[in-house]
Amino acid sequence: MANGLRSGVLAFAAAGVWLTLCSCASLHGPATSAGRADSNSAKSLETPPEEVPARQEALAAVEDFLSRTQDYRLTPPGKPASTAAPSAAGSPAGGGAGNAHPIPGAPPTTIATAPSQTGLSTGSPTPARDAAFANTQVSISESGPGGTPVPVPAVESVTIRWKQPEAETPATPARTNATNAPLDMPTAAAATTLERIVPALQQQLEADKDFAAEWRLRMVQLALDRDSDASIVSPNLPEDSRALLTAVVGTAAAVRNLIRNPMLTGEEALQQVDGLRHFLSNKADPVVSVIALCRKVVTFGSYEEMASEDFVAGRPIQTIVYSEIRNLRAERGANGAFETRLATRLEALTTDGKSVWQREEPEIVDHCRRRRTDFFIAQRITLPPNLPAGEYVLKVLVEDKLSGKVGEASQAFTVHSPVSVAKGQTSGG
């Protein structure tokens, strides 16, 4: 737009110069005619002295017009000249020329740009006035009236397109031979290979009829997601081996399903794990994991131990022996409750292994509607007053009456003399 305005101004200026020259020629006909007659000669024509002032006046008028037009184009009216945009040549526009060179007799003009439908300025000059604008941001400019509203972008439509899935790049076939490089097998090929192995494993199981062949076959079936086949254990195995393998297969399948589907609660996997743990605990020996000499026992893991100064020689020592026990067998009775039967033997020994006190409990019976995962025993005992002051070891032996297995553990304790207790010379025991 600026280039068009510039071209129009130059054309108008050229026409003005031409009219001025023509007027000068009409006033001085013989000299101008002589100049045109000799235009093809090598000798240049000189301007008569009387025409110089007229031409200079015309050129000055043209330059003044161009200067005022340039200032109006680059500097909006009413705006300081210091904020004008640089000219096309890179130099700043004349300082406030739009207000410094008003056109004589012309009314003041304000140029405003109306917003287009696309949100861009059309550039067509329109007089500033009070108006309403749709979908635009309107503000009052610092220079007063004539501010240009800024269009606000708006979403007119949204198009949602389905992206077609990209074609999968064909996998590079695995090399059959490799040198100094790892060689793997695609999943489909691995499954095919396992399927081919199953008949061979079945034939081997029929021939050997042992646990090793059974284990290999069931694990391969489990890897092929053939859970129902894997859970059918051959009847030629002993009952304990069959039960163990069945529990392992069920636990592995439940845990695998939980890993594949995180939305599962894991309850099935926990039940399978608990069943396997109970089965293994019945196979293991009893374990006495904790022994404590207590003043008070509330429940499993909740007890109050006696202070060291409470064990004083020369008087009876009453205490409670708290023991936590694992791997006890439980059998369901006729009433549906689980029954546990055990026997205990407590013994106090000196540091050199001499027995100074003992007590036996031939049978302790426990009934519970559920399999106990936390099993403890609390036994009230009284140590004799004739135990001399010194270091001792309390040994706890537990016999599981249902499995016939035994477990034991020991706990050190100290019996203090009355003099050391009176002097406060006791330490935690």
Question: Residue 348 maps to which CATH number?
Answer: 2.60.40.10
Q: The domain containing residue 246 runs over which residues? A: 187-281
- Do 317 and 273 lie in one domain? The reply is no
- Do 253 and 339 lie in one domain? The reply is no
Strand partners for 376: 324
Burial class (CB in 10 A: 0-12, 13-18, 19+), 425: exposed
* Residue 180 neighbours by CB distance under 10 Å: 4
Residue 327: inside a domain, yes or no? yes
What's the pLDDT score for residue 63?
77
Per-residue pLDDT of the chain (429 residues; tens, 9 = 90+): 445 545 554 555 555 545 444 444 444 444 444 444 444 444 444 556 666 677 777 788 777 777 766 655 555 545 554 444 444 444 444 444 444 444 444 444 444 444 444 444 444 455 555 545 444 445 544 444 445 555 555 556 666 666 666 665 555 555 545 455 444 444 555 567 778 888 888 888 888 888 999 999 999 999 899 999 998 888 888 888 899 999 999 999 999 999 988 888 889 999 999 889 888 888 899 999 999 999 999 999 999 999 988 999 999 999 999 999 999 999 998 888 999 999 999 999 999 999 999 999 999 999 999 888 889 999 999 999 999 999 999 999 999 999 999 999 999 999 999 888 887 777 654
What's the pLDDT score for residue 40?
43
What's the pLDDT score for residue 117?
43
- Do 401 and 329 lie in one domain? The reply is yes
Could you tell me if 320 and 292 are in contact, meaning their C-beta atoms sit under 8 angstroms apart?
no
What's the pLDDT score for residue 428?
52
- Do 236 and 317 lie in one domain? The reply is no
Q: What whole-number distance in Å separates Cα of residue 396 and Cα of residue 407? A: 9
Rounded to the nearest 10 degrees, how much is the dihedral formed by the CA atoms of 105, 110, 116, 122?
Answer: 60
Distances (CA, A) of 107 to 75, 96, 102, 327, 417: 17, 18, 9, 109, 122
Residue 349: inside a domain, yes or no? yes
Q: What whole-number distance in Å separates Cα of residue 194 and Cα of residue 185? A: 12
What count of residues does the chain have?
Answer: 429
What's the pLDDT score for residue 413?
95
Owner of token pair 């635009």: 136
- 322 conformational bin, left if phi > 0, alpha if psi -120 to 50, beta if neither: beta
What's the pLDDT score for residue 92?
42
Q: What whole-number distance in Å separates Cα of residue 343 and Cα of residue 324? A: 14
* Residue 281 neighbours by CB distance under 10 Å: 18
What's the pLDDT score for residue 161?
65
Owner of token pair 């004799």: 384
What's the pLDDT score for residue 64?
77
> Structural domain tally of the chain?
3
- Do 192 and 247 lie in one domain? The reply is yes
- Do 208 and 293 lie in one domain? The reply is no
Structure tokens at 346: 């407590």
Q: List Cβ<8 Å contacts ≥24 apart for 51-58.
A: 51/24, 54/20, 54/23, 54/24, 55/20, 55/21, 55/24, 58/16, 58/17, 58/20, 58/21
At residue 240, what are phi and psi to the nearest 5 degrees? Answer: -65, -40
Owner of token pair 């489909």: 188
